[in-house]
Structure 1
Amino acid sequence: MQRFGRIDALVNCAGRSTRGKVADTTPEQFRDLMELNFIGLVRCTRAALPHLLARRGHLVNIGSLASKSAARWVGAYPATKFAVAAYSQQLRLELGPQGLHVLLVCPGPLARRDQRLHPLEGLEDVPPRARGPGAGVKVRQIDPARLSAAILRACQQRRAELVVPAKARWLFAISQLWPELGDWLVRRFT
């Protein structure tokens, strides 16, 4: 605000993923991850909201494929990203009529130089492939530059959601209509 005098867009893109079985995730681990992945996003949004509303601006919340479909071996992560999805929808419903554009971005794993693995300590029951980016999901890693361009286009079109890869929408639809089949597909592709 001090430098440009206005806020046209806010991109909430911070967080971290975890590995482990959800049943083994402690309440403290849930709270810590929720604080980082969701409550931090809420705080930033609330700080920028008056400015975004004044400009009929864009709020971009970076979720994950896990915002729409929980995967195995990622502990509390999907719960935090489902919260991001619900919050985004609520803001869209409540503040969309006042001109706020809310975009939920649900990307798969991003290609990056740092291909570090989550430590295996305490994860003996988690398959080794689940330690890498995307927790072993069988989806091609996404080029960050291409994702950025797609986000910009989605903002220009004032879209509600951007799912990358787009074919993941089929899984989300199937899971809503036929949860047992959706679960089978998630097990098969993770």
Structure 2
Amino acid sequence: MRRVIRKVFVSKVFERKVVLVTGACAGIGRALAQRFAQAGARLVLLDLDQAALDSLAQHLRDHHNVEVLALRCDVAEAAVVEAAVALAVEQFGGIDLLINNAGITHRSRFADTDLAVFQRIMQVNYFGALHCTRAALPSLLARRGQIVVLSSLSGFAPMLDRSAYNASKHALHGLFETLRLELAGSGVNVMLVCPGFTATDIRKKALVGDGSVTAQPIPFVGKVNAPQDTAEAIYRAAVRRKRLLIHSNVNWLARLLARLSPRLFERWLVPRLSGVVRR
């Protein structure tokens, strides 16, 4: 009986709630949009590709009978984000859950990486989440809502040739762990999500040192999670209003090694996780 009650509870938590997802058209973002649509949420989808947004929005309306507002938005642009959030609040009355999912990566050594690459990755990964959170915070406070931030295992342990990406994820932890403390008692929950390797297109669109898109996608290493599995884990963690979700294909022994013997971890495991062979 308890299992039935719990299942019903999980399925109803986000019914008619307003969920805003950035980077919504592909990978984990798309899977999250579909999962929250299944839960009956009203969706605000932000992405750069308007045609893909329109297609996804129609798919969600047709298959899940939900309300969807799909807006082209570069999260790196504060004024554009503010306008998109204002439109969402005007149409739906507020925002209950903000999912900062938009992100990009690169693969290049620090010494070979143009300053513009560092700036662009921080603009999207860090400032994008900051802009969205600042714009949505008044509504989240009024509705005692929730902020979910897609970080990475690189927020705990670095990957080779990803200095800008790693830095952006560390910055997210610093920002949102501080924000969590400042929001204590407000009713707003902040959850950091650290997925392992997931089958998304981010690796195919990775930048290289000069800012162009890689011609050789970053290889997967070991077991790879499906975006749908990651989205399901995030959904269930959001229902429970968790503070941290590590959904990783890198087992707990590797994470323990990173903390107890960082030198051995860096020498032995980091190159393998990064898909890099050093000679």
Deviates more, 1:36-45 or 1:21-30: 21-30
| SS of residue in 1 equivalent to 2:184 | helix
In the TM superposition, what is the alpha-carbon distance from 1:90 to its structure 2 partner?
1.1
CA distance in 1, matches of 2:127, 2:208: 28
For the aligned residue pairs, the C-alpha RMSD in angstroms reads 2.7
CA distance in 1, matches of 2:202, 2:159: 22
Q: Higher relative CO (CA 8 A, sep ≥ 6), structure 1 or 2? A: 1
In the TM superposition, what is the alpha-carbon distance from 1:48 to its structure 2 partner?
0.6
TM-score by length of 2: 0.58
Question: Which of 107, 116, 125 is equivalent to 2:204?
Answer: 116
Aligned to 1:174: 257
In the TM superposition, what is the alpha-carbon distance from 1:86 to its structure 2 partner?
1.6
What one-letter code is carried by the residue in structure 1 that aligns with 2:122? M
Aligned to 2:40: none
CA distance in 1, matches of 2:261, 2:183: 32
In the TM superposition, what is the alpha-carbon distance from 1:28 to its structure 2 partner?
3.1
CA distance in 2, matches of 1:12, 1:114: 15
Aligned to 1:11: 99
The answer (yes or no) to whether the contact 1:16–1:37 under 8 Å persists in 2 is: yes
Q: Unmatched 5+ residue regions in structure 2?
A: 1-88, 275-279
Query: Structure 1 residues 71, 112: CA separation in 2 closer, same or farther (over 3 Å shift)?
Result: closer
Percent identity, aligned pairs only?
Answer: 35
Query: Structure 1 residues 10, 114: CA separation in 2 closer, same or farther (over 3 Å shift)?
Result: closer
Query: Structure 1 residues 38, 112: CA separation in 2 closer, same or farther (over 3 Å shift)?
Result: closer
1:143 and 2:226 are equivalent in the alignment = yes
The answer (yes or no) to whether the contact 1:62–1:104 under 8 Å persists in 2 is: yes
Q: Unmatched 5+ residue regions in structure 1?
A: 123-127
Aligned to 2:192: 104
In the TM superposition, what is the alpha-carbon distance from 1:85 to its structure 2 partner?
1.6
Aligned to 1:89: 177
| SS of residue in 1 equivalent to 2:190 | strand
In the TM superposition, what is the alpha-carbon distance from 1:103 to its structure 2 partner?
0.8
Deviation string 1:129-186 (CA, Å, 9 cap, x unpaired) is xx43xx4452422211111111111111111111121645543443233321221321
Aligned to 2:242: 159
Deviation string 1:40-84 (CA, Å, 9 cap, x unpaired) is 110110011111112221100111222221101224111011111
Query: Structure 1 residues 49, 104: CA separation in 2 closer, same or farther (over 3 Å shift)?
Result: same
Query: Structure 1 residues 98, 56: CA separation in 2 closer, same or farther (over 3 Å shift)?
Result: same
Aligned to 1:125: none
TM-score by length of 1: 0.82
The answer (yes or no) to whether the contact 1:163–1:169 under 8 Å persists in 2 is: no
Aligned residues: 182
Question: Which of 58, 78, 88 is equivalent to 2:146?
Answer: 58
